Amino acid sequence: MADNLVVSNMELERLLSMKGGKGEGSYANNSQAQAIHAKSMHHLLKEALDGVQLQKPNIPFVVVDLGCSCGSNTINVVDVIIKHIIKRYEALGSEPPEFSAFFSDLPGNDFNTLFQLLPPLANYGVSMEECLSASNHRAYFAAGVPGSFYRRLFPARFIDVFHSAFSLHWLSQVPESVMDKRSSAYNKGRVFIHGASEITANAYRKQFRSDLAGFLSSRSLELKRGGSMFLVCLGRTSVDPTDQGGAGLLFGTHFQDAWDDLVQEGLISSEKRDSFNIPVYAPSLQDVKEVVESDGSFAINKLEVFKGGSPLVVNQPGDAREVGKALANTCRSVSGVLVEAHIGDKLSEELFLRVERRAASHGKELLEQLQFFHIVASLSFAQ
């Protein structure tokens, strides 16, 4: 049993990715809400960047986006970071250095789509002012780095700024006890922990804390002295880990009911449903604070809950069918790859059709109730 679980967890790292390509259910076409939420936090990001120690002009400035996925959001945020740092150099009357940006995600990420979205590199022979004014060009060298951010990804003291948004709530694995029928934490009848038992939720919390500890340990070796980290992930306002807030409404209501539909219609067995769990945990502020303090490498410059708003972007809020399709596409864009790997393409299509139908029948209340809160953390080395 344990061996099978280990293989399953290794498979998760290999498989997990947002839905690639540019189709209707792709992440690239269903991440507008993330773009809106990220933009609303730019002032917090720039505050963090103001604390970064600037390097000498002959030393390249290195930026990393961890959990970059495959849409334009990662390109936009790297652009914001580099332009802000350039302005800081110019304010000091200093020539900006060359910039490198690393886009990092798990190996299954659709890096091809991401690289196709990258604007061409600006001519470094022109002035930085011309570089910045050429909005269809980028002022940095770019590279992709496949791998889990819960382990080392870069050489020691190599990175000036780490950025990660909407990624750290994804766990490295579903906790083994949650998948073990003999365990009291077995998540029978559910595909997510929203509304599950306290024992099940605590297994997820323990996994989150272990993952975040690994993340911080790795970054503490890779970040330059004077560097900074700006982290955003799904969070919750409740102290109760079984109440997963917006993530709970996304994965614990119509998505859950759609799985139950497949079981009741005889399309899959209850065991097949029960062996699927979304590896997501929306932490509380206290969850994050305790792990950072326990690690001891980083000082917390800012740690707060930020209301991001709805993950659904619709043109006609009164159109229940559009709301239903938006919820189904949102679910599919972030979990579709895992669902397809578990039950196949055809049944995956059936599942998300049922998500869409169920969501459409609750369109108005979905738009009102489905709100995401984010944990925002700005960290630098402890003195």
Rounded CA-CA distance 326/323 in Å is 5
289-312 as b/e: b if 16+ CB within 10 A = eebbeebeebeeeebeebebbbbb
3-state secondary structure (DSSP) of residue 73: helix
Mean pLDDT confidence for 112-121 = 87
pLDDT at residue 366, rounded to an integer: 78
Per CATH, domain 9-381 is 3.40.50.150:
yes
Q: What is the largest CA-CA distance in the chain?
A: 70
- For 183-240, how does the pLDDT look when each residue is reduced to its tens digit (9 = 90+)? 999 999 999 999 899 999 999 999 999 999 999 999 999 999 999 999 999 999 999 9
Query: Residue 378's pLDDT band (boundaries 50, 70, 90)?
Result: very high
Rounded CA-CA distance 304/326 in Å is 28
pLDDT at residue 102, rounded to an integer: 97
Rounded CA-CA distance 357/211 in Å is 36
Burial of 230 (0-12, 13-18, 19+ CB in 10 A): buried
Q: How many CA atoms lie within 13 A of 19 on its CB side?
A: 23
Structure tokens at 115: 């690289």
**What is the separation of C-alpha 15 from the centre of its chain, rounded to a whole number of angstroms?**
15
**pLDDT over 90 (residue 321):** no
Rounded CA-CA distance 336/26 in Å is 9
**Model's pTM, two decimal places?**
0.87
Residue whose tokens read 């720039």: 46
Q: Alpha carbon of 4 to those of 1, 8, 10, 33, 247: distances in Å?
A: 5, 6, 10, 37, 28
**pLDDT over 50 (residue 4):** no
Query: Residue 16's pLDDT band (boundaries 50, 70, 90)?
Result: low
Q: Alpha carbon of 134 to those of 102, 138, 236, 281: distances in Å?
A: 21, 8, 40, 40
The strand pair at 159-165 and 61-66 is best described as: parallel
203 contacts 279 by C-beta, under 8 angstroms? no
Closest C-alpha to 329, from 365, 361, 355, 347 = 355
